[in-house]
Amino acid sequence: MPWVTRGLREGIVTTPYPRHPDGYGRSFKGHVVCEEKATGTEVAAAAAACPTGAIEVGAGGARLDRGRCVLCGRCCEVAPGSFHFQPGFETAALARPALVVPGREPDDGEVARAREQLRRRVKALRRSVYLRHVDAGSDGSEEWELAALMGPIYDINRLGIFFTASPRHADVLLVTGVGTSGMLVPLRLTYDAMPSPKVVIAVGTDAVSGGLTGGTYASGKGVAAAVPVDVFVPGSPPSPFGILYGILLAVGLVGQAPRGGEARPAGAEAMEGKGVAP
Ligand code: SF4
C-alpha cells in the first residue's frame, strides 16, 4: 500500500530522454573544458597535479584527453582560469582522438563517413537491442551506473534495450574496467561468440585508457587491446545518462555531440521514424 500512495504522490519519474532533453541529466558535471591556448605556470601546475597524465602542455597550449580524465577536479582547483567543469552527459565519441580537447575538429565528411559506416552496420538493430556486459577489471563504480539503467528513472527497456546473459544473443558488448591481463582472453572470446553485426562500447575512463590503475604488469591501458571499440564513453564513472547516450550513439539513434562545446540537446527528431517506443 505505501508503494501505491508513493507512486500516486510522485507520479512518473522516468526521464523523457532521449525524446526530450532532461534538465537533471544536463546538471551533471559531465566533463572538463580546457581553454584554447591555455598556457602559463598555472597550467603546468595543473598538468603536474593531474593523477592520470590527462593534460599535455605544448608550445601551442594545453590539451586535455577526456579519455584519461577521471573527473577528480584537481586541474580546476589549480588553474581555474584554464580548466573548468562543464555540465552535460553527451560526452561519448565515435573515435578515440575526438576525446582530446582542444583538438583538430574532424571535418564534416570524416564525421559523416564514420557515422555512415556505423549506421550501415547497425541498421538491423533499430527495433530492439541486447547488451552483454563484461567486467574486464573494473573498480565496480561503472557497474552501479549500469544497474541504474534498469531502474525506474532511466528504464532502458522502454527504448527496446535489454541486457542479456548470453553473448550469442547480444548485439552490443559493454566493456568496463582497465582490461586486466586475466580478462583479455575471456573478453575476446565473448566478442567472438557474438553474432554480427555487433558493436563494442568502452564504458568509463578505465576501459577507454586504463584510468588511474591501468598500465601495470597486470592491467592494460583500456580494452581496445582486446576488442575493436566503436564508441568511447569517458567518465569515472560515466553517469547513466552518459552510458545511455553512448548506447544510442552506437546504434545510430542520436548524432555525435560537438566536441569541446555544449552537448547537443537530444530532441524528438532523434527518435523520429526509428521505430523506438517513447
Ligand atoms: S579533472 Fe581530469 S584532467 Fe583534471 S586533474 Fe583530474 S583527471 Fe586530470
Which of 70, 82, 213 is the best mutation target for the ligand 1 pocket, counting ligand atoms within 8 Å of the beta carbon and taking the most? Answer: 70
* Cα 211 to ligand 1 centre (Å): 11
Which residues sit with their C-beta closer than 6 Å to ligand 1?
Answer: 32, 49-52, 54-55, 64, 69-75
Q: For atom 2 of ligand 1, which residue has the closest CA?
A: 69
Q: For atom 4 of ligand 1, which residue has the closest CA?
A: 75
Q: Which residues pair with 62 in a beta bridge?
A: 57
Give me the helices (H) in 57-179, please.
74-78, 108-121, 141-148
Burial class, 218, CB count within 10 angstroms (exposed 0-12 / middle 13-18 / buried 19+): exposed
* Cα 154 to ligand 1 centre (Å): 28
Could you identify the atom of ligand 1 that is nearest to the CA of residue 73? 1
**Structural domains of the chain in order of their starting residue, each with its CATH number:** 25-87 (3.30.70.20), 96-257 (3.40.50.12280)
* Cα 167 to ligand 1 centre (Å): 35
pLDDT tens digits, the chain, 278 residues: what are they? 677 888 888 888 899 888 888 887 777 778 898 887 777 788 889 899 999 999 988 877 888 999 999 999 999 999 888 898 988 888 898 888 888 888 655 555 666 677 777 777 777 776 789 999 999 999 999 999 999 999 999 999 999 999 999 999 999 999 999 999 999 999 999 999 999 889 999 999 999 999 888 788 888 889 998 999 999 999 999 999 999 999 998 887 776 665 544 444 444 344 434 444 33
Cell of 222: 583500456
- Give the Å distances, CA to CA, from 213 to 64, 180, 207, 219, 225: 19, 10, 11, 7, 16
Which of 42, 74, 83 is the best mutation target for the ligand 1 pocket, counting ligand atoms within 8 Å of the beta carbon and taking the most? Answer: 74
Which helix (H) or strand (E) element contains residue 43?
A: helix 41-49
* Cα 77 to ligand 1 centre (Å): 10
Q: For atom 6 of ligand 1, which residue has the closest CA?
A: 72
* Cα 169 to ligand 1 centre (Å): 38
- The whole-angstrom distance between residue 156's C-alpha and the CA centroid of its chain comes to 16
Cell of 167: 553473448
